[in-house]
Structure 1
Amino acid sequence: MGDAVASDAAMDAVQRRLMFEDECILVDSYDHVVGHDSKYNCHLMEKIESENLLHRAFSVFLFNSKFELLLQQRSSTKVTFPLVWTNTYCSHPLFRESELIEENSLGVRNAAQRKLFDELGIPAEDVPVDQFTPLGRILYKAPSDGKWGEHELDYLLFITRDVKVNPNPDEVAEIKYVNRDELRELLRKADAGEGGLKLSPWFRLVVDNFLFKWWDHVEKGTLTDAIDMKTIHKLT
């Protein structure tokens, strides 16, 4: 670990602080809480592989009233998957009372509201906690650059709101709304390697397995019909 810390001297100061201060929620493959550890340890592939560290996470998909999906390009200073395009935002509930509440996924929804402000500058009153709809959970593992990676049990949250966005440059490089055709073009470019465009692995898993059929429910106002919080989809 000493060598790992020494090699992180160039890490962005904000990201370094968060990596050591934030305590992620460790879970087993059934999403039972088994402990907590630093964001740093939870994203070290060495730790993930040797100790099978699995942490709880969430991915939010925010649509506007035209049913366009807000995407972000992750900041160049992000430790994992810098400059990749992904869904509206992704993060972790922390090991704190308000974000450990299991009932109706309230802890995760509280974390989602908090992080919307941290990453995109959207105030809490614009995204009420009860407006987030948890649709499902996925479990996946994805190395980022050899040293860093993800091993997450990820809650997929949808919300439809018109919001003012003020991205935090420590977290977000760029944002844009896309309709379905524009997203398909983005997928085509990523598959072709055009312009170095890359998508996050978790976003691609959601796109390939769920997103377009769930998008239909968003437009029809039938999103509750798509909810399945009993299944944990193990995706690769």
Structure 2
Amino acid sequence: MKEENVILVNQADEPIGLMPKMEAHEKAVLHRAFSVFIMNDHGETMLQQRAGDKYHSPLLWTNTCCSHQRDGETNIEAGKRRLLEEMGFQTELKELFSFIYKAPFDNGLTEHELDHVMIGHYNGNPSINPEEVEDWKWMCPSAIKEDIAANPGQYTVWFKIIFERFYNHLMDNANQDEG
């Protein structure tokens, strides 16, 4: 299987080149990525547990799916593609916000990403790809926040960073809706 390239970007999210994914993670080079959060009608978030044979963060819990855009692919197209590849379903996605983070792993690799965070809605059960996903569950955001605080080692490094921003976005919008 040919290794995928990631899109290298500057801090303004302007593409500046392509690089093999592993090389970008070894060199900690800033590249474009996305994170998808799927919510249901009960206000719960779908989490996935990464497959046990993933090269980093195996068996840790994280958001519904995340990956890297391909050259020429929009953020939304990339999110929909990966959602289908990992979780086996399609739904409409909307981009919420983007931000830059840097997170080193125990294995010497580093995520240095300009992450586009997206949300979608779905009420069914996923048809998970066992090469990518070990398990899945629905959790309400406040329970996720509490569990991350109590059991941080059960979650991916990037999810802990991204979820805090996602949770604040949900709370800010809930407060605006009430006002």
Choose from 65, 70, 73 the match for 2:49. Answer: 73
Indicate the SS of the match to 2:130. coil
Determine the C-alpha separation between the residues in 2 that align with 1:201 and 1:59: 13
Determine the C-alpha separation between the residues in 1 that align with 2:118 and 2:88: 18
Indicate the SS of the match to 2:22. helix
Choose from 153, 157, 160 the match for 1:204. Answer: 160
The total of aligned residue pairs comes to: 177
Q: Which runs of 5+ in 1 are unaligned?
A: 1-16, 100-106, 192-196, 223-236
Write out aligned runs for 1:177-216 (5 A): 177-191=138-152, 197-214=153-170
Determine the C-alpha separation between the residues in 1 that align with 2:100 and 2:151: 23
Determine the C-alpha separation between the residues in 2 that align with 1:190 and 1:68: 19
Q: Tell me the residue number matched to 2:94.
A: 133
Q: Tell me the residue number matched to 1:42.
A: 24
TM-score (norm 2): 0.88
Choose from 71, 80, 83 the match for 1:113. Answer: 80
- C-alpha deviations, 1:139-170, integer Å up to 9, x for none? 11111124222111100001112233111111
Residue 34 of structure 1: CA displacement? 0.3
Choose from 96, 104, 115 the match for 1:143. Answer: 104
If you compute each CA radius of gyration, which structure gives the higher value, 1 or 2? 1
Determine the C-alpha separation between the residues in 1 that align with 2:169 and 2:109: 32
Determine the C-alpha separation between the residues in 2 that align with 1:221 and 1:72: 29
Runs of 4+ aligned structure 1 residues displaced above 4 Å come to 219-222
Q: What one-letter code is carried by the residue in structure 2 that aligns with 1:59? A: S
Q: Is this contact kept in 2: 1:80–1:149, CA < 8 A? A: no
Q: Among the aligned pairs, what percent are the same residue?
A: 34
- C-alpha deviations, 1:118-139, integer Å up to 9, x for none? 11111xxx41xxx311111111
If each structure's strand is expressed as a fraction of its own residues, which one has the higher value? 2
Q: Tell me the residue number matched to 1:31.
A: 13
Choose from 58, 61, 80 the match for 1:85. Answer: 61
Q: Do structure 1's residue 62 and structure 2's residue 44 form an aligned pair?
A: no
Determine the C-alpha separation between the residues in 1 that align with 2:175 and 2:38: 16
Cα distance change of structure 1 residues 31 and 181 upon mapping to structure 2, 3 Å threshold: closer
Q: Is this contact kept in 1: 2:34–2:68, CA < 8 A? A: yes
Determine the C-alpha separation between the residues in 1 that align with 2:88 and 2:111: 25
Indicate the SS of the match to 1:94. coil
TM-score (norm 1): 0.68
Determine the C-alpha separation between the residues in 1 that align with 2:57 and 2:25: 11
RMSD: 2.1
Determine the C-alpha separation between the residues in 1 that align with 2:18 and 2:125: 34
Q: What one-letter code is carried by the residue in structure 1 that aligns with 2:75? A: V
